[in-house]
Amino acid sequence: MIFLDNAGTTKMFDECVDIHRVFSCEKFYNPSAMSNESLKIAKLISETEQYLLKELDAKEGNIIFTGCATESNNLAIKGSLRSGNWEYVFSEGEHPSVFNVAKKLQLEGNIVHIIKLNERGQVDLIELEKVLNEKTRLISVMHVSNETGAVNDIDKISKLKDKICPKAILHVDGVQAFKKIPFSLRKTSVDLYTFSASKIHGPKGVSALYVKNKNSLKEVFQGGGQQYGLRSGTENVSGIMQFRKAVELIDTDKNYQNVAHLKELMKQELKYVDGIEILDFEGSPYVLNVVFNGVKGETMLHALEQNGVIVGLGSACSAKKAGNRVLEAIGVSKEKVVSSVRISFNAYQTEEEIEKVSKIIVEVYKDIKKRMM
């Protein structure tokens, strides 16, 4: 089976499996306890926090470990809420774990601005500049779209925030960007940054939230006060250590070049096939949208799986819902949306695999079209 739904999840590195056994069966101690063994574990977590700050190229701040990116995004947004006449800004392109929180805030009577996307799938900076003001409390935007691969210019968004509402909090969902595209927090005004292990060949069940200033955030549930009082509960030590190992194993620049080559190879194999349309938003090389005119995307997905290829229909968190909110927001017709699939690569796939998949895609599409005649 060739897996091309890597924006949804990735196969875990073998090295992470070995670490899981060590920290689950041998060094299994609770980092909040007072034994010497527990203190050693707490120190390892602290060292991992500093290591990840360095990987983010952050000048200052802390790392809060969570159970998933959805939790990190919710902590970032809900932990930033304050009473009063504040305004909150999101974009149409956000992941459901951000977008659905924004819609809930609207229903609760908060002033929420949903910024449109431009034709390339990026946050419309002209509209963003118009809605920002001194009452803006939070701006939450995605770094790289999980649906299209579109990359938002975090530097420009940071400068807009600094110019218009310097006291506002800037949260960035970086799940599809961390260790996939070159990036430095040091050069931005980002206050909160979400990233996750399962998208970079680490384990499921552990993610993180970068927090520049702990005082800007408040806890969203109560407990024993772990992790600076912002995320109570015993830390997932094994998951955190596996997360670090995954980060250590990734060469961002080398992987980027390899994936860009694989994506271009597939585009060349598909672009001249009658009925197949490539939606390339010139963003991250890790994501490619393909429209199979006349055939539903779901039909292609199941037919491809029967032929040994797994692709996606967009965010796994909303895959069972009809349509694709993000593609429609960019202006892709509903007819094309229904006929589209999301192909997402990982850097450890080969030219041979991509060439094989491309041929399978073409054969499957032509076969379905023939049987429909």
- The catalytic residues are 317
- Assess contact for 191 and 60: CB atoms under 8 A: no
- Assess contact for 120 and 282: CB atoms under 8 A: yes
Contacts of 151 (CB under 8 A, 6+ apart): 122, 143, 144, 145, 177, 181, 283, 284
Q: Which two tokens stand for residue 119?
A: 């034709």
Return the axis-axis angle of helices 14-21 and 237-249, rounded to nearest 10°.
150
- Assess contact for 317 and 97: CB atoms under 8 A: yes
> Which sign, positive or negative, has the C-alpha torsion 232, 233, 237, 242?
negative
Q: Say which residue the tokens 């120190």 belong to.
A: 43
Q: Which two tokens stand for residue 302?
A: 């199941």
Which residue intervals of the chain are DSSP H helices? 14-21, 36-55, 69-78, 96-107, 125-131, 154-164, 237-249, 252-270, 297-306, 325-330, 334-338, 351-372
DSSP assignment string, 232-298: -S---HHHHHHHHHHHHH--HHHHHHHHHHHHHHHHHHHTTSTTEEEE--SS-TTEEEEEETTS-HH
Alpha carbon distance 299, 50 (integer Å): 46
Count CB atoms within 10 A of the CB of residue 293: 14
